[in-house]
Amino acid sequence: MKLMTHNMLTSKGMKNVKEGFPLKIQAEEMRNVDIDYDRDFITRMIPKLDWKALVFAAQCVGHKEDLPDTLPEGYENDNELLKRLHHVLLEVEVVSGCLECPETQRKFPISNGIPNMLLNEDEV
């Protein structure tokens, strides 16, 4: 599971959950992959991301230092930041572990890089 995906995942489908976002990551095994760096792609992606959630996720998986707490002005020109962002968003993957709902603490397991977001009948 990439952190790009995590930025969109929520447990809001469960009853009694107001936001369900962001989910807390408890990573057991991680891996890095190689994805070609496309500066324009990252620049265009940034407005769609929830920055706070991304920083939170980065912290969960040990990439805290890579990203500033708030998105700085003029980020389009900061190539170093964009490169680090590219790495954290697309190249860092959680292979196994789980995602935890912030409101109910329900755990969604991640195995083989795939988060299992299926809900049980009583949770819907």
Partner 1 sequence: MAPKITGIEPSSLKGLNPENPELCTLEATVVTGLEDVAAEECKEKLGITCVQARGRIFIDVNIADVTKVLSLRSIDNVNVVLSMVKKFSFEDQRERSFEKLYKFAEKQDWRKGMQVWKDVVSYPEEPIKKVVPLKNEYCCPRPDVDLKKMKLLSPVLKNLPENVVPEHLRNDKGLSVVDDSSKQKEKSEELPSTAPTEAVASGPKFRVSCSRTGSNHKFGSPEAARQFGAGVNEMFMWPVDLTNFDLEILLCIDTEFVYVAVSLTREPLFKRNLTNFGRTNLRSTVCHNMVRLATPQLGEVVLDPMCGGATIPMEGSLTHRQAFHLGGDNYGQAVKRSRENINNLLKKGKSMAVDVAWWDATKLPLRNQCVDVVVSDLPFGKRSGSVADNRILYYRSLVELARVTKMKTGRAVLLTYDKRSMIKNIKRVHTLWKSGASRTVNIGGLPAVIYTLYRTSQLSLSDCNEDSKVSETCTDHDLV
Cβ proximity to partner 1: between 77 and 124 the closer is 124
Q: Is 38 in the site for partner 1 (CB under 8 A)?
A: yes
Site string for partner 1, 55-94 (x = CB under 8 A): -----------------------------------x----
**Dist. CA 22–CA 52, nearest whole Å:** 9
Name the minimum Å distance from CB 58 to partner 1: 17
Report which DSSP code applies to 18: S
Residue 67 · residue 85 · CB < 8 Å? yes
